[in-house]
Chains A and B, each alone.
Chain A
């Protein structure tokens, strides 16, 4: 108990420091938002496994580490170089990337020359202070990602000192994907990073975003990221979230999207890294004709733990949601999938589909999967399903009868299992990276 009290002390101290540093600089509404988020975090504390939403994911290890919250301090001796940024980046987004070191935006490490004029991609704190965007941000920030319901969202809202504000104006299409490139740098040991992103896609805008989380060391650190997305009528957004944190890292993330009429949001979330990762993704369809695809792939081994909680909320008629999450588990790893689909009163002609499939490569790996469907409308088409299995004997036998060794046969089939998600990815370098990562993970080689 004393440990937890001490930890909350660390975050409170960081909060006070941040308040002092930003005193007078910030809009009053933003200072109040932070304060009430900090109050909420203090009330909630870190979640415990007694709470239904955290039943299978124990975050006590996070509260036990003496993390150093990074609240905007800028250390000049950073080890992160432009070469590292390139190495961890995606060629399609070389001229359209925002680079964050330990959650803090470093404009000098990125480039935005590839963005069309009119597109805004700036530091969130600066945008709040800018009278052109202040009111717009006030209208949308912390609206869809509710800090009252989630202690980590509260902590992010209170402590986020940097991040990004992106505005894609009406009718504008981004040719290149915009990359939110989060890199952990051991220059700040045991860093706790709180990046915050708000993306507004105006009417009929089109964009692809990549949100990647990686590290240049194998250090223990803590990422607590919140990304809020607002799509206006007819807007389209493809969102790739690639989590490749270090093996000792903790990754807690929230993605929250509000969809306008006839807008379309496609999210693909890939989880490879971190000793413990949790992703809460919520899509609210509060306007008619919205459509979303919420796909994911988690590949874990050793003692890794990964948890996905998704909420697809059909509030209005004629909305469509498709969800495919696949998981590959080896060693003693553990995965949690909790997918809720709500179909509210009057949300007629809803079409909702959800599938979660898991492949266990070891007898010690474990999956807790729980698809939930709550339907309060009567004219809807909804289906959901979950499966946990191992590689089939007949499949293995087929490959073996072609002279392929048992282990390689197993690996090829595992790779094939992941492909259903990877094949849908439209950014080539992400696809290539994931193909390679899956093959490396399973020690297979494949060329032709």
Chain B
């Protein structure tokens, strides 16, 4: 589904990603972990197409197509979704209006009939159950006045409506209390199936107790420093990131500038 080859990316001329290779197949859950500044959020934003991140080298193929040539909205309509660490507030536009707009953009793209407000209301009611959100959230402006946990649940609601093939969750666990974490993780588990893939970008192992990854990749200094199964996350929890970064430095593959 997604093939990342030797990906290099910079922000304002500062190189952040320095050669990422990663392959993601449908049905898989991947966790991208790493210390602050290792480049994990940058990787998420590059995949979603943030204009501030410049790809300087490498290739990303999504379903065989050159992802890097596609605008962010085009990527979204092609089935890529990113849940934001800090979701944006959109005053004056209700959650229901926003979701229907996004949903219909995708339908149009796929050559399907758009749903009218009534049809969409039924669909939304169904999908909202995934994250245990009640109807009052639908008439409120997108994320406006939402608590941190509500914003994250709203991100997963968007995922539930848009049904992406590749969902990238950027630090979705940050700032969540245990109940909200359980709801958000439960939602992701419900939405995951053999036809889609999930990428979890996270600093902590905690989320992985709820959403169990097939693969764990640890980033350090803009490269993948270590890869393994879910047990790697547990090992990290125990030993900390210093263990990875120092071993990377010792092995001489260039993570010495990690801060």
Contacts and interface: CB of A to CB of B under 8 A. Distances in A.
A18 interface: no
Given A398-B90, A403-B106, A423-B91, 4 more contacts: A395-B88, A402-B105, A403-B76, A405-B105
Interface in A151-166: none
Interface in A406-448: 406, 408-409, 412-413, 415-420, 422-423, 446-448
A420 B81 CA distance: 29
A447 B97 contact: yes
A402 B141 CA distance: 16
Given A404-B101, A447-B97, A448-B96, A397 B90 contact: no
A401 to B, nearest CB: 5
B252 interface: no
Given A406-B71, A448-B97, A423 B102 contact: no
A402 B81 CA distance: 7
Contacts of A447: 97, 117
Contacts of A395: 88, 90
A47 B80 CA distance: 59
Contact of B92 (A393, A398, A399, A423): A423
Q: Which of B52, B90, B94, B162 has the most CB of A within 10 A?
A: B90
Contacts of B127: none
B82 interface: yes
A278 to B, nearest CB: 28
A77 interface: no
A92 B81 CA distance: 45
A404 B93 CA distance: 13
A106 B102 CA distance: 49
A401 B117 contact: no
A416 B90 contact: yes
Contacts of B49: 397, 400-401
A446 B91 CA distance: 13
What's the dominant secondary structure at chain A's contact region? helix
Given A448-B96, A448-B97, A412 B73 contact: no
Interface residues on B, range: 35 or more
B82 A393 contact: no
Contacts of A398: 84, 87-88, 90
A205 B181 CA distance: 54
Nearest to A413: B90
Interface in A27-50: none
Given A415-B92, A416-B90, A401 B48 contact: yes
A403 B94 contact: no
Interface string B44-75: 00001111100000000000000000011101
Interface of B: 48-52, 71-73, 75-77, 80-82, 84, 87-88, 90-94, 96-98, 100-102, 105-106, 109, 117, 120, 141, 158, 162
20 contacts: A393-B51, A397-B51, A398-B84, A398-B87, A398-B88, A399-B90, A400-B73, A401-B72, A401-B76, A401-B81, A402-B102, A403-B106, A406-B71, A408-B101, A409-B73, A416-B90, A416-B92, A418-B92, A419-B92, A448-B94
Nearest to B103: A403
4 residue pairs, one from A and one from B, having the closest CB atoms: A419-B92, A403-B76, A398-B88, A448-B97
A412 B88 CA distance: 13
B125 to A, nearest CB: 13
B109 A403 contact: yes
B100 A448 contact: yes
Interface in A315-332: none
A269 to B, nearest CB: 19
A408 B90 CA distance: 13
Nearest to B75: A401
A405 B88 contact: no
A139 interface: no
A394 B88 contact: yes
Contact of B120 (A399, A405, A448): A448
A336 to B, nearest CB: 25
Given A397-B51, A404-B101, A412 B158 contact: no
A400 B106 CA distance: 12
B91 A416 contact: yes
Interface centre among A395, A400, A402, A404 (most CB of B within 10 A): A402
Contact of B93 (A393, A397, A405, A415): A415
A422 B117 CA distance: 23
B172 to A, nearest CB: 14
